[in-house]
Amino acid sequence: MAKIIVVTSGKGGVGKTTTSAAFGAGLALKGFRTVVVDFDIGLRNLDLIMGCERRVVYDFINVIQGDANLNQALIKTKQLDNLYILPASQTKDKDALTQEGVEGILNGLKETFDYIICDSPAGIERGAYFAMYFADEAIIVTNPEVSSVRDSDRILGILASKSRRAVENLEPVKEHLVLARYSPKRVIDGDMLSVDDVKDLLDIPLLGAVPESESVLLASNRGIPVILDGKSDAGDAYSDAVSRFLGEDLPHRFLHYQKKGFFGRLFGS
Amino acid sequence: MRLLDYFRTSKRRDSASKAKERLQVIIAHGRSGRNSPDYFPQLKIELLAVIKKYTHADMDDIKVSLEREGNYEILELNVTLPSSK
């Protein structure tokens, strides 16, 4: 049975698209047929993060409006044969997204894919609403920072009351937390909310903390999901998070500050 | 400079705990609103209008809350009347 996962946060700039790309690639690496769908109508960026921007011909709205079929709009990523993206449209027409249209596309994707990852735009407008409406599971991306935590809690409230599962009284959307841009050093210094603080506040299970890392910017520069960078701590953190998402019980590797030893300080990055 | 930093770290800055405290309050407040029915804000306004007809109470003097205890819902109305002089 295909699963629909929404990656959402409320606040912008916290790492939703990075997380969507990482989870897409991570699930594809595990052998699942995976598609990442960009719901940020008018401001598409997933194609750029995943290195597909020059191959966009048709988009989400073209399919809804019947100008193209789903297979024409889907783009296979260069890195993985079983990973596809469905780009968002650059239209400024906010009403182009309709409930029937989105449902039709998701039903079409369910026939081919094991996992459908919906990359939500920031905010709680139409795009964000439709990205979460049909979700079976939700990955809440949060930064250890007051406005991001508060917005995440708002989004949890919306998932619990406005999603299809809530409206139709089904089993609730399964929630997961990804804490991005985490800096264990700043936590030690008392300058940053800790993983436990955020877990206490939001009260949802943690898939992983992703350390603040320059490799995230480098990966986006190159258009390759950071999880495919074999030497990145952020990539490793995402890879662990994907395994936990699939039910593996792994110890958390990036929660605590490790003081660099003498050689680390001399030669480490 | 480095050496000074080393000694300074013994005095832990603690903006993070302040952040947590503030979030606990604001999130709890947000969640209580989330579970209350849609008519709740309007109910508050109308109750206030009735009470104001007879007293000089202010919006701040009136607290309306809805508590859930098992199968019951308790609507609590608390009005602090201004001293009548």
Which residues in B lie closer than 8 A to residue A150 (C-beta atoms)?
Answer: 23, 26-27, 30
**What pLDDT sits at residue A264?**
63
Place of tokens 């139709």: A168
* Cα distance between residue A48 and residue A75, in whole Å: 12
Q: What is the ipTM of this complex?
A: 0.84
Spatial contact of A127 and A99, defined as CB atoms under 8 Å apart: no
C-beta atoms of B16 and A194 within 8 A: yes
Residue A6 pLDDT grade (very low, low, confident, very high; cuts 50, 70, 90): very high
C-beta atoms of B27 and A189 within 8 A: no
**What pLDDT sits at residue B85?**
52
Average pLDDT over residues A242-257: 92
Backbone angles phi, psi at A7, to 5 degrees: -105, 115
* pLDDT over 70 (residue A200): yes
C-beta atoms of B27 and A150 within 8 A: yes
Residue A240 pLDDT grade (very low, low, confident, very high; cuts 50, 70, 90): very high
* pLDDT over 80 (residue A83): yes
* Secondary structure letter of residue A15 according to DSSP: S
* pLDDT over 70 (residue A127): yes
**What pLDDT sits at residue A132?**
97
* Least confident segment among A113-122, A146-155, B33-42: B33-42
Average pLDDT of chain A is: 93
Spatial contact of A89 and A96, defined as CB atoms under 8 Å apart: yes
CA distance to partner chain A, nearest, from residue B5 (Å): 12
More confident residue, B4 or A72: A72
Among A140, A143, A150, A199, the residue to mutate for chain B (most B Cβ within 10 A): A150
Residue A73 pLDDT grade (very low, low, confident, very high; cuts 50, 70, 90): very high
**CA quadruple A55, A56, A58, A63: dihedral, nearest 10:** 110
Three-class DSSP labels, B44-83: HHHHHHHHHHHCCCCHHHEEEEEEEECCEEEEEEEECCCC
Show which of residues 16-75 on chain B sit within 8 Å of chain A, judged by CB atoms. Answer: 16-17, 19-20, 22-24, 26-27, 30-31, 34
In order of A142, A225, A226, A241, the CA distances from A218 in angstroms are 21, 10, 8, 20
More confident residue, A79 or B11: A79
* pLDDT over 90 (residue A209): yes
C-beta atoms of B23 and A149 within 8 A: yes
* Least confident segment among A39-48, A122-131, A206-215, B41-50: B41-50
* pLDDT over 80 (residue A207): yes
Show which of residues 138-197 on chain A sit within 8 Å of chain B, judged by CB atoms. Answer: 145-146, 149-150, 153-154, 157, 160-161, 187, 189-194, 197
* pLDDT over 60 (residue A131): yes
* pLDDT over 70 (residue A266): no
3-state secondary structure of A207: strand
List average pLDDT for each run of 10 residues in chain B, which is 85 residues long.
57 83 89 74 83 78 76 82 67
Spatial contact of A98 and A41, defined as CB atoms under 8 Å apart: no
**What pLDDT sits at residue B9?**
53
**What pLDDT sits at residue A260?**
65
* Cα distance between residue A108 and residue A74, in whole Å: 11
**What pLDDT sits at residue B43?**
83
**What pLDDT sits at residue A94?**
77
C-beta atoms of A189 and B26 within 8 A: no
* Least confident segment among A143-152, A190-199, B50-59: B50-59
Average pLDDT over residues A79-98: 91
Residue (of A3, A41, A44) closest to A24 by Cα position = A3
* Least confident segment among A36-40, A128-132, B74-78: B74-78
